[in-house]
Structure 1
Amino acid sequence: MKIGLRILLGYFLIVGLAAWFLLNVFVQEVKPGARSTLEAAMNDTAQLLAQLVAEDVKQGATDPTLLARIAAASRNSDYRITITDEKGIVLFDSAGKAVGQDYSRWNDVYLTLRGKYGARMTSEVPRDYGSLGMYVAAPVRDGERIIGVLTVTKPISSVQGFIERSQRKILKWGIVLLGLSLLIGVAITWRMASTVNKLMVFVEDVQAGRKAVMPKLGSSEISTLGHALEAMRAKLEGKDYVETLMHTLTHELKSPIAAIQATAELLEEDMPPEQRRQFLSTIQAQNARQRDLIDKLLALVRVEKQQRIDDAAPLDVAGLLQDVAGDFQARLNARQLHLVLDADSALQLRGDALLLRQALGNLLDNAIGFAPPGSTVTMAAQRSDGHVEIKVCDAGPGIPAYAEARLFERFYSLPRPDGAKSTGLGLPFVREVAALHGGSAQVVNGEGGGCRAALLLPLHAERIASA
């Protein structure tokens, strides 16, 4: 399971459980809270009325005018008021139902006559919640002596609508808050998962040896981790790279150094001027080979360590091919080769002009070295499925089967028809430049013979109309 999904599920579980408990508590507290408020109001009413009727109950009679006012007040407020004597016999009932009945066993009357707080909830019709009423009693006193009980009754159904409305409102806003919390959770999780995924892609690219640029990870702990991984990668790769580079460079320089040393020793002997000039030419050639090797190796090192192109710009592909052709015109003439350029003048791409010029120069240099004198070399560019494909084709002997898989290895080269030996760094350089531009390089045998080298580069700019 992906880390983003784990975070989202964990967040959803925590928020969901918290919301369920809170909503459950609030909803369940509405009913007792409303009843507690109602009971307090009824108790105040009962205490006040008990004081008003105390003198009448003491004299064994009740003032009809007072009772009429009490009865009218109870009808207007959904209250039912009963008054009992000290034995619990009902003296007055605003509903006119229970006069003369014995209420001494009901909790409200029973507890109040004994100096305690008396209240109860009872349904007038058994098991009928709609007839449930709350009974709150207050003592009718003659000094310190309790001479009766006044009970105020109110049906629960009168506040049930308020309770249900409050519960619905709490549930509604609770669900809204839960939804907002989940949306916030999804946004935070998506951001975290996106950041982690960027870091994972970077790590996978590094592990696979591909060009990898440290992504923007914000200012979180994940960003700190990413920069730490980047620094560690740079140190480890730098150490391994230097060790490999020094080993291969030492191996490649052994031959020219040995040749120069042997030739220099021979020059110490007496020899004809013509032979001396030949040996000096050998020294100069080997020295030039060393210089070429070092220059190309340094160029390869720079492009291999480079992870991205910082100054990409729009490039005219046809113009780029013409520039490369101009760089090698002298060599083409020396080999009596005819160069054909075929590129749409409106075809453009974005990239580093210098690197692409060097890469195409390496491909053209190989084509010139392997093409038979007097033959034709072709450089062509065309659009292919959202890419620009630049091909360099020659009519040379082609690639032997044993060398096809090793062409892009550093320092690996094939002997040229004229006996010259290349550095074996040109094609690795081409491959790195292609990778920097998000593309690829390929060298294969041509369908009609010879060799076909190609750069496949993403087309970042659409064709534009020629002026």
Structure 2
Amino acid sequence: MKIRNRLFITAALLMSIGVYWLVDWIVQDVRLHYFITMEESLVDTSVILAAQIAQQTDGRGIHIDPTFGKSISEAVARTLDAQIYGFTKTNMNLRVVVVDRERRVLYDSRGSDAEGTQYEWRDTRLALQGKYGARASYEEAGVPDSFHFYVAAPVWVDGEIAGAVSVGKPVSSITPFMRQARVRLVVSSLIAFTAILLLLIPVSLWIIHPIRILTDYARNIRDGRKVTRPVLGHGGEMSELANAFEEMRDALEGKQYVEEYVQSLTHEMKSPLAAIQGAAELLDEDMTPEQRALFLQNIRNESKRMHGLVDRMLALASIEKRKGLVRAEPVDVQGLLDDVAGGLAPVLQAKGITLRRSVVPGLELYGEYFLLRQAVMNLTQNAVDFSECGGVIELHAETAGTEIRIAVCDEGTGIPEYALDRIFDRFYSLSRPESGKKSSGLGLNFVRQIARLHGGDVVLANRPSGGVEATLSFPV
């Protein structure tokens, strides 16, 4: 599926969910406010009727004036033609119930059948206690349209509560208004939703346009065509991607990677090949057995050097080609450093070097054990090569913020200033203090590739007290 379609479908789906949730929330909120308004009007009506009955009552109890019931009955029976925001109200659907202090029904606008019976509802009970009395209940079980709101007000006579008036209204009376509000809200939301979807079409095309340009650019590179880098603005992600394509193109067209390796390897091979050739030519001449053995040993040493150089080149190339870890696992740092120390024990003993280790207990990092061991081993071997006999090398492992750091510190000669910027270059090496020989110059570059493969890095710096501190850092 094309990215444009994915963007469009994802945006439409998210908007649909958002619109549905918003409409549902607004409808529920509107419904609640309709109920609040309805209950508030019932409060006013019940208080007015209670005050009217109180005016018609003496101290001997509530007295229902015949005109009271007659006026309400006539109002209920009257046909109305009230136009309310597009709706026509044809009748008054208000129910009025009057009870005395003992909650006996004195009047019911629905008829006289209930008069004299006990009215056990919550609204009148609370009103007779001088509290706010309200309830919501079904007049007929299982009939949704019979759901009513009731509010009762006490009838005060000479400072005492003589009875209560309960006024009720069916919730269905506001259903048309709620239905109209819901329909208007849904229609408005659908119109807005459709408008946004239509707007998404040019927006998606605007987003996809630079991707199409880059796709065509990549295809031209693949086909070997000479094309210029597309201009996609400055500083944006697409511009960075275009730069990456351009860099890739340069690497492919110029074969920089291959040329660099071939040239470097050729240069490094010249010295051992020349030594082997010279020794072989001398072997054709007459010489003592001791001299012949010396030249043969030189040939073996240079062959071994060439073999090691090729092996290191292959190992470095394999690391550089990898895009991630293959056999990653939790690695105990203490065990890792112990393993390195054990592997270098003969060399350390030969030079009388003391290797000190300090590790935070329980420290672990996630990675490939073999590669991590190679990295620490290379740094420690370098420290041994540049340390004097009887010196001290320290291995530290600790956490620093969100990193795990492994440091190798020596007391050697340090790194000359001119070499600091090139110390990680391939085939760049410094002469060893004792032998004056150089290594393959691939070890530190190999260490850097391992560190970056694990999401970390390596830094070398001269110590103020002398020597070098090499620090490997890995994410926790």
**From 241, 246, 253, the counterpart of 2:262:** 246
User: Is structure 2 residue 417 aligned with structure 1 residue 401?
Assistant: yes
Question: Structure 1 stretches of 5 or more lacking a match?
Answer: 16-74, 79-162, 201-221, 460-467
Number of equivalenced pairs: 279
Tell me the amino acid that sits aligned with residue 450 of structure 1.
G
Residue in structure 2 matched with residue 432 of structure 1 by the alignment: 449
User: Is structure 2 residue 308 aligned with structure 1 residue 292?
Assistant: yes
TM alignment of 1:304-315, pairs within 5 A: 304-315=320-331
User: Is structure 2 residue 342 aligned with structure 1 residue 319?
Assistant: no
Deviation readout 1:410-448 (Å, 9 max, x if unpaired): 100001112121000000011111111111101110121
Residue in structure 1 matched with residue 75 of structure 2 by the alignment: none
Residue in structure 2 matched with residue 174 of structure 1 by the alignment: 187
Q: Is the 8 A contact 2:251 2:257 kept in 1?
A: no
**From 293, 297, 322, the counterpart of 1:281:** 297
Tell me the amino acid that sits aligned with residue 428 of structure 1.
N
Tell me the amino acid that sits aligned with residue 328 of structure 1.
L
Q: Is the 8 A contact 1:408 1:428 kept in 2?
A: yes
Q: Is the 8 A contact 1:439 1:457 kept in 2?
A: yes
TM alignment of 1:295-444, pairs within 5 A: 295-417=311-433, 418-444=435-461
Residue in structure 2 matched with residue 446 of structure 1 by the alignment: 463
- Quote how far apart the aligned CAs of 1:175 are: 3.0
In structure 2, the CA distance between the partners of 1:343 and 1:165, relative to structure 1 (3 Å rule), is closer
- Quote how far apart the aligned CAs of 1:409 are: 0.5
Provide the TM-score with structure 1 as the length reference: 0.52
CA distance in 2, matches of 1:424, 1:438: 23
In structure 2, the CA distance between the partners of 1:180 and 1:310, relative to structure 1 (3 Å rule), is farther
Deviation readout 1:14-33 (Å, 9 max, x if unpaired): x9xxxxxxxxxxxxxxxxxx
In structure 2, the CA distance between the partners of 1:171 and 1:293, relative to structure 1 (3 Å rule), is same
Task: Name the structure, 1 or 2, with higher relative contact order (CA <8 Å, separation 6+).
Answer: 1
In structure 2, the CA distance between the partners of 1:376 and 1:173, relative to structure 1 (3 Å rule), is same
In structure 2, the CA distance between the partners of 1:396 and 1:272, relative to structure 1 (3 Å rule), is same
Provide the TM-score with structure 2 as the length reference: 0.51
- Quote how far apart the aligned CAs of 1:274 are: 2.0
Question: Structure 2 stretches of 5 or more lacking a match?
Answer: 16-78, 83-175, 215-237
- Quote how far apart the aligned CAs of 1:176 are: 2.9
CA distance in 1, matches of 2:395, 2:253: 36
TM alignment of 1:151-162, pairs within 5 A: none
- Quote how far apart the aligned CAs of 1:172 are: 1.0
- Quote how far apart the aligned CAs of 1:378 are: 1.2
Deviation readout 1:292-321 (Å, 9 max, x if unpaired): 111111111011111111321101001011
In structure 2, the CA distance between the partners of 1:183 and 1:349, relative to structure 1 (3 Å rule), is farther
CA distance in 1, matches of 2:284, 2:404: 56
CA distance in 2, matches of 1:185, 1:439: 47
Greater gyration radius: 1
How high is the sequence identity, in percent, across the aligned residues? 42
TM alignment of 1:69-218, pairs within 5 A: 170-177=183-190
Q: Is the 8 A contact 2:407 2:470 kept in 1?
A: yes
CA distance in 1, matches of 2:250, 2:360: 41
**From 271, 290, 302, the counterpart of 2:287:** 271
In structure 2, the CA distance between the partners of 1:404 and 1:368, relative to structure 1 (3 Å rule), is same
